[in-house]
Amino acid sequence: MPRVIVFTILLLGLLALIPPAIFARMRSTPGPGRPIHIVQDMDYQPKFKTQTANPLFADGRAMRQPVPGAVARGEVMDDPHYLEGAIDGQWATEFPSQVEVNMALLDRGRERFNIYCSVCHGVAGYGDGMVNLRAMALMANADGPVDGTAWVQPKNLHLPEVAAQPVGQIFHSITNGIRNMAGYQAQIATADRWAIVAYVKALQLSQNAPAGLRAEATP
């Protein structure tokens, strides 16, 4: 058999391996340049979904921002006890009537506390969460704090001055923030914020339970 033909067959065989090799690599390593839509169908329709871009608006958002001061339907505005934790300018010492304190509320509160608060305040509330540890390490850097880090340690929630706070004050701190802590009004729904308050109160009690209560709880 002439050399040319043998070489051509071998070459074709090798060339045939290239597409599968490319595809195998695409499957195993993520990268840009995908997704590839060979048949476009109606994949891209001229409509706008949540959090998409719309070039017609100056800020490029398809979702319009509410006008400042707008009140959503069903949102109550005239209940300072429920919304701000205050009654007649004093911190509320009782939970508002919308909130029923029971085991389900505490369970919900624990779950939400572990999502939103434990990163800074720690699971047990001692102000020793993972973010705090990282930030403290940045502060302790030999050449001064890295990149302008100015971290204030999250409050230990078992300090007497925090443990003595009425429920309304804790609720207000979560809602609007306090000094170096940001407010969580936008991230956590009002009912969940009250659930967190209930859980914080339970957590504080659990670490400093009076002797009588402990005896009562142990059967």
What's the token pair of residue 191?
């009912």
Backbone Cα Rg of the chain: 29
Per rule CB under 8 A, is residue 26 in the interface with other proteins?
Answer: yes
Residue 143 interacts with other proteins (CB under 8 A)? no
The C-alpha atoms of residue 208 and residue 206 are separated, in whole angstroms, by 6
CA proximity to 198, closest of 94, 96, 101, 119 = 101
Which listed range, 15-23, 54-62, 86-94, 171-179, lies at the site for ligand HEC (CB under 6 A)?
Answer: 171-179
164's tokens? 């003595």
Using CB under 8 A as the binding rule, the residues of this chain from 44 to 73 that contact other proteins are 44-45, 47, 49-53, 59-61
Q: Does 149 bind other proteins (CB under 8 A)?
A: yes
The DSSP secondary-structure symbol of 147 reads G
# residues contacting other proteins (CB under 8 A): 53
Q: Which of 87, 119, 162, 163 binds other proteins (CB under 8 A)?
A: 119
Give the residues across from 86 on adjacent strands: 91
Is residue 152 at the binding interface for ligand HEC, with CB under 6 A as the rule?
Answer: yes
Query: Residue 108 in 3-state DSSP?
Result: helix
Q: Which of 116, 107, 122 is nearest to 177 (CA)?
A: 116
Q: Which does 198 bind (CB under 5 to 8 A by kind): other proteins, ligand HEC, none?
A: none
123 contacts: CB under 8 Å, gap ≥ 6 = 114, 129
Report the residue number, 31 or 210, with the smaller CB distance to other proteins.
Answer: 31
In the complex, minimum distance from the CB of residue 137 to ligand HEC, in angstroms, rounded to a whole number: 7
CA distance 113 to 203: 11
Residues in CB range of 156: below 8 A, 6 or more apart = 125, 126, 127, 162
Smallest distance, other proteins to C-beta of residue 136, A: 11
Q: Which of 86, 87, 138, 163 binds ligand HEC (CB under 6 A)?
A: 138
Q: Which is nearer to other proteins, 148 or 219 (CB)?
A: 148
91 binds ligand HEC (CB under 6 A): no
Binding region for other proteins (CB under 8 A): 1, 16, 19-20, 22-23, 26-27, 29-32, 34-38, 41-45, 47, 49-53, 59-61, 111, 114-116, 119, 130-131, 134-135, 138, 146-152, 180, 182, 186-188
